Chains A and B, each alone.
Chain A
């Protein structure tokens, strides 16, 4: 790609920054474009290197990081934007990584038929033809880091998720690639940013471990089985492996398709309630939560239940995070300034060496954030369809993103995924325009 053309492309991006790609196709197209640009960067790098062997990779890395970031910042869809901004400026980048890696995989070309056969023979010593009664070699959709195929066995329809080879490797190398760029961009030191990057990397790598995912899926679907209107597919460990997960096929509609059918308010509330219960039961009873409230991970079944189809990303909440954080939300702590500051200290939101003015400043800013976050919990039921609440979140996020004080690393690493989960949940409920009873599973902080 010529540099002129690139410059033009860059200008074009700047101009159209305001239109956020919304549909999956558009988003994936976006990433395909990034992919091409990055490919172009490599070609540029190697052709320059032909003439100037001393050229280092620095330039290449920077080119790539710029392109990745450019496309990321355009991708702040409504759902992500709020979560991103509330998770503080410093988290924007790790957060973007997360989204990049869940979305960008769409740009991976589908696996070829022979590679699927190969993956099966490696895992089971048999071809899919020999294992299932029928197996559809063309995939029915893309999962985050793999693709999904349909098969039949003993009259049952199954979903088979197959992982792209080399995903784990590319996650680590991509994170390394963008890291130095991130330090400069956010003006943070490597040491400060590293805790967050590591947290993201850990979760992302866990997602590539399909054996772990099957184990957790079974555990979580067992633990959550008594929740009303939440259903899970059955998993088949004997037909799963390092790169393959076999589960029941769940028929139903994705959120977007569901909303297009103009569901009644009752039905919206029912699905919204199922979502709320599913998340809050996990947070407060299991202390570990499905941390990927991406609309694609849910199906609304024909008999009006919420189907949960992906347990790749689980965030466990340790006590030293859970107690201080949720006591701020569900008790009177927030009305007592000293106790609140004490909790903020435990959560690393106020540092030991902060000056009295700084303490006062962060106390006020974070208190505002927590009260916003806790709003749905303060009444017995909450109407997520109202735009005011989201506007407040938005304004708050906009405000703090402009404050230089928030350029520093603050807050324990657990915030990244806990924020992403809860604001993700709020956003889905907003899209559903659901009113839910918020007192079904309350924070449990009376230790």
Chain B
């Protein structure tokens, strides 16, 4: 009787050696000397194996960073940074798989199929952090906009993972820079900024248009 782990391992070994999926589940299970029923008990398709791996990598990372002693002292910004650093550290162990699974995705602009399981847990996690930041005043509450903060972070997620895949610097140092700079910029935008004041001022002026007219504007 095969376990999910064994099937997963065999599948990884197969795709990384052959750089393509097995022709069919039938061929795959035959080689592994298990029955199709064994396979379908755990996975509905090859894609679902890949999705599971991605899901686990992400889930593990989130669990692990929350166990750090400093976690509670971190600001929202630092929590997000911590996630990405640890995430790449974690992905490093499966780099070949990560490259394989993303290179085989068509359509650059939509979320790749293999990441459909990752997106909700990442967004959940991001939302949790954003709400903490909004509560503490670290991030600016903006009507309509603050609901979209998590989307901006998902875009960063896609960017950073893609950057890392193509990163050939020693120790993936450039990816570290991409995280540090990218996340900082994103959080800078989430914070209170002169734009907020400008908008406030604009609102004030439009509400008091009559007064402005009198002044000869």
Binding site for B on A (CB under 8 A): 109, 111-115, 117-118, 121-122, 127, 129, 137, 165-166, 169, 242
Secondary structure at chain B's binding surface: helix, strand, loop or mixed?
helix
Contact (A118, B89) CB under 8 Å given A112-B81, A112-B184, A165-B176? yes
> With a CB–CB cut-off of 8 A, which chain A residues contact B86?
118
| 17 A–B contacts, CB within 8 A, in A order | A112-B78, A112-B184, A113-B70, A113-B74, A114-B74, A114-B78, A114-B82, A114-B85, A115-B81, A115-B180, A117-B68, A118-B85, A137-B70, A165-B176, A165-B177, A169-B174, A242-B171
Complex: how many Å from CA A169 to CA B178?
14
> With a CB–CB cut-off of 8 A, which chain B residues contact A166?
173-174, 176-177
> Count of chain B residues with Cβ under 8 Å from any Cβ of A?
20
Interface string of B160-200 (1 = CB under 8 A from A): 00000000010101101101100010000000000000000
Contact (A117, B176) CB under 8 Å given A112-B78, A112-B184? no
Q: Assess whether B173 is in contact with A117, with CB atoms less than 8 Å apart.
A: no
> With a CB–CB cut-off of 8 A, which chain A residues contact B180?
111-112, 115, 165
Chain B positions 73-88 with a Cβ under 8 Å from a chain A Cβ? 74, 77-78, 81-82, 85-86
Q: Assess whether B85 is in contact with A115, with CB atoms less than 8 Å apart.
A: yes
Minimum Cβ distance to chain A for residue B186 (Å): 13
Minimum Cβ distance to chain B for residue A101 (Å): 17
List 9 tightest A-B contacts by C-beta distance, closest first.
Answer: A114-B82, A114-B81, A118-B85, A166-B177, A165-B176, A165-B173, A112-B81, A165-B177, A114-B85
Minimum Cβ distance to chain B for residue A298 (Å): 31
Residue of A nearest to B83 (CB): A114
Residue of A nearest to B172 (CB): A122
Q: B69 within 8 Å of A by Cβ?
A: yes
> With a CB–CB cut-off of 8 A, which chain B residues contact A114?
74, 78, 81-82, 85
Q: Assess whether A115 is in contact with B70, with CB atoms less than 8 Å apart.
A: no
Complex: how many Å from CA A298 to CA B188?
36
Task: Give the residue among A109, A114, A122, A242 with the most B Cβ atoms within 10 A.
Answer: A114
Complex: how many Å from CA A117 to CA B179?
14
Minimum Cβ distance to chain A for residue B211 (Å): 29
Task: Give the residue among B77, B81, B174 with the most A Cβ atoms within 10 A.
Answer: B81
